[in-house]
């Protein structure tokens, strides 16, 4: 059968219709591609429970419920009455419930711990029962006199400690203790007397032990200066702990300007635990020469932190004009695994140093930017002498504990197509042009305008004129815009 032939005009109409349909389809796909992705599936579930006391009766007093990960990282914490509920991502958790009554209340409940697994989209019930904990009561004295306001701490073999303060008559009470073995340490509020700890093994829930404490030894004092090998760690701060080798009792002191004073300590030898100070890693160790605090006297000594962290240094410059150093640039250091290790800003000469307690890094990176000014930095004395720089990441580099990684010059790149080393220099005031002599040979190009522009474009000689778009590009742009705008 013979097919009918279309006239040229009819064929053109069909082609245009097909092209329009194709553009609409493409616009629809493009529009769909630009929509926000579907929200990620909610993987959370809930855990809920009732707080009960002896006999299974609901407990209506206030308790603190804390939800931990399996490695004891806090996820949520709330003070509640009777019931608790948390909504969290699916996974395994630890639940700890503690009584909020004062620690000196001997009827206080001991802490209760549970574990649970939360499933996506489900609610898990985990009730928690609570009961009266162990308690310790007693009277503290200093050489026979009431130790008013003495500090009393009960520490068990699980690393938990519970603290209270004695009243004016030296009487104290600690309740809500979990079962375990306890050492009771006492500190004279005036720091004049000390004594050994009191050992209380096998304390069971619901039982009480009443003890008498008498501090009979004159306390001493310990003054420690901290050093990096032979250099004093001036300007450093933190908290240090001194533990008596004779009694196991510990004392804490604030580190100020690289030194700490432990007042009212028990006589004898000590072990210090010192945190990281500056770029020096902290450590635990005995006093030099195993020196001892004298009874009623002062021991003045030192403690060295000999392991120094890694550091990085360099100079931030213009990537196209290396002699131009850049001041005030933010420099951030990230570890091989993407954790932020430090931050600083470049000095007036463009130099920077980031140091700290940094371990070996096989592939650290710097992120560099002029964040405070949107990337703009002054490059000269003129009001227009400034450049805008793009943020950049350095290539990976290695860092080693105790060593300085010198990166030399690190370049920032000017934003935009032009890489003029002066960016935006001051423009000279134009003068009136003189009329040039008529050429003897007529030029082949059009005549120069008689009135020159007052401020010639700096890109006129460097950027070619933009070609006019072809008819095909114009048709595509117009059709796409029309199709996209349609509902």
Would you state the pLDDT for residue 291?
Answer: 96
pLDDT tens, position by position, for the chain (487 residues)?
Answer: 455 555 555 555 555 555 565 554 544 444 444 455 556 788 999 999 999 998 899 999 999 999 999 989 999 999 999 999 999 999 999 999 999 999 999 999 999 999 999 999 999 999 999 999 999 999 999 999 999 999 999 999 888 899 999 999 999 999 999 999 999 999 999 999 999 999 999 999 999 999 999 999 999 999 999 999 889 999 999 999 999 999 999 999 999 999 999 999 999 999 999 999 999 999 999 999 999 999 999 999 999 999 999 999 999 998 888 888 999 999 999 999 999 999 999 999 999 999 999 999 999 999 999 887 778 887 777 666 788 898 999 999 999 999 999 999 999 988 865 545 556 544 444 555 555 554 444 444 444 444 444 444 443 334 444 444 433 333 333 333 333 333 3
The verdict on 406 and 327 lying in the same domain is: yes
* pLDDT tens-digit readout, 185-211: 999 999 999 999 999 999 999 999 999
The verdict on 337 and 298 lying in the same domain is: no
Residue 455 lies inside a defined structural domain of this protein: no
Would you state the pLDDT for residue 323?
Answer: 86
Asked which of 111, 129, 147 is the last residue of a domain, the reply is 129
Q: Is the pTM of this model over 0.75?
A: no
Q: How many CB atoms lie within 10 A of CB 249?
A: 20
Residue 71 lies inside a defined structural domain of this protein: yes
Would you state the pLDDT for residue 377?
Answer: 84
The verdict on 54 and 124 lying in the same domain is: yes
Do the beta carbons of residue 223 and residue 301 sit within 8 Å?
yes
The verdict on 78 and 115 lying in the same domain is: yes
Asked which of 78, 100, 129 is the last residue of a domain, the reply is 129
Would you state the pLDDT for residue 445?
Answer: 46
Please count the structural domains in the chain: 4
How buried is residue 203: exposed, middle or buried, by Cβ count under 10 Å (0-12/13-18/19+)? buried
Would you state the pLDDT for residue 32?
Answer: 46
The verdict on 104 and 182 lying in the same domain is: no
Q: Which structural domain range is residue 83 located in?
A: 44-129
The verdict on 317 and 397 lying in the same domain is: yes
The verdict on 239 and 318 lying in the same domain is: no
Pairing of strands 44-52, 128-129: parallel
The verdict on 279 and 348 lying in the same domain is: no
CA 124 to chain CA mean position, Å: 33
* pLDDT tens-digit readout, 149-180: 999 999 998 888 999 999 999 999 999 999 99
Residue 225 lies inside a defined structural domain of this protein: yes
Pairing of strands 208-215, 134-142: parallel
Cα-flanking dihedrals φ and ψ of residue 231, to 5°? -100, 125
Residue 418 lies inside a defined structural domain of this protein: no
323-341 b/e (C-beta count within 10 Å ≥ 16 → b): ebbbebbbbbbbbeeeeeb
Residue 201 lies inside a defined structural domain of this protein: yes
3-state secondary structure 323-347: CCECCCCEEEEECCCCCEEEEEECC
The verdict on 234 and 315 lying in the same domain is: no
Asked which of 304, 337, 360 is the last residue of a domain, the reply is 304
Domain of residue 50, CATH code: 2.60.40.10
């Amino acid at each position: 059968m013979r097919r009918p032939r279309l006239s040229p005009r009819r064929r053109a109409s069909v082609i245009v219709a097909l092209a329009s349909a194709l553009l609409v389809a493409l616009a629809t796909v493009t529009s769909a591609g630009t929509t926000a992705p579907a929200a990620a599936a909610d993987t959370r579930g809930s855990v809920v429970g009732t707080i009960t006391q002896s006999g299974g009766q609901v407990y209506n007093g206030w308790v603190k419920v804390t939800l931990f990960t399996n490695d004891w990282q806090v996820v949520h914490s709330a003070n509640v009455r009777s019931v608790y509920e948390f909504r969290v991502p699916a996974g395994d958790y630890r639940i700890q419930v503690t009584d909020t009554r004062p620690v000196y209340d001997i009827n206080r409940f001991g802490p209760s711990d549970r574990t649970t697994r939360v499933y996506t989209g489900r609610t898990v019930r985990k009730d928690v029962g609570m009961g009266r904990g162990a308690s310790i009561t007693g009277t503290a004295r200093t050489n026979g006199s009431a130790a008013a306001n003495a500090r009393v701490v009960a520490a068990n073999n699980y690393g938990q400690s519970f603290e209270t303060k004695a009243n004016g008559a030296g009487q104290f009470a600690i309740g809500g203790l979990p079962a375990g073995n306890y050492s009771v340490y006492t500190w004279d509020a005036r720091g004049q007397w000390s004594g050994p700890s009191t050992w209380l093994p096998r304390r069971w829930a619901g039982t009480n032990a009443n003890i008498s404490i008498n501090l009979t030894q004159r306390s001493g004092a310990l003054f420690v200066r901290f050093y990096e090998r032979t250099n004093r760690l001036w300007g450093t701060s933190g908290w240090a702990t001194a533990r008596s080798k004779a009694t196991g009792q510990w004392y804490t002191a604030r580190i100020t300007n690289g030194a700490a004073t432990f007042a009212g300590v028990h006589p004898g030898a000590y072990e210090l635990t010192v945190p990281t100070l500056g770029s020096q890693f902290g450590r635990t160790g005995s006093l030099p020469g195993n020196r001892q605090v004298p009874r009623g006297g002062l021991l003045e000594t030192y403690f060295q932190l000999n392991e120094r962290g890694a550091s990085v240094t360099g100079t931030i410059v213009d990537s196209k004009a290396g002699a131009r150093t850049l001041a005030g640039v933010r420099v951030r250091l990230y570890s091989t695994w993407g954790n932020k290790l430090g931050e600083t800003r470049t000095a007036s000469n463009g130099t920077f140093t980031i140091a700290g307690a940094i371990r070996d890094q096989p592939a650290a990176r710097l992120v560099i930017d002029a964040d405070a000014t949107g990337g703009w930095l002054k490059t000269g004395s003129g009001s227009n002498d400034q450049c805008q720089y793009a943020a950049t990441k350095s290539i990976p580099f290695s860092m080693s504990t105790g060593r300085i990684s010198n990166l030399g010059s690190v370049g920032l790149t000017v934003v935009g197509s032009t890489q003029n080393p002066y960016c935006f220099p001051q423009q000279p005031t134009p003068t009136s042009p003189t009329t040039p002599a008529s050429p003897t040979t007529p030029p082949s190009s059009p005549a120069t305008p008689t009135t020159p522009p007052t401020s010639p474009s700096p890109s006129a000689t460097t950027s070619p004129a933009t070609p006019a778009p072809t008819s095909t590009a114009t048709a595509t742009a117009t059709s796409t815009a029309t199709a996209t705008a349609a509902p």
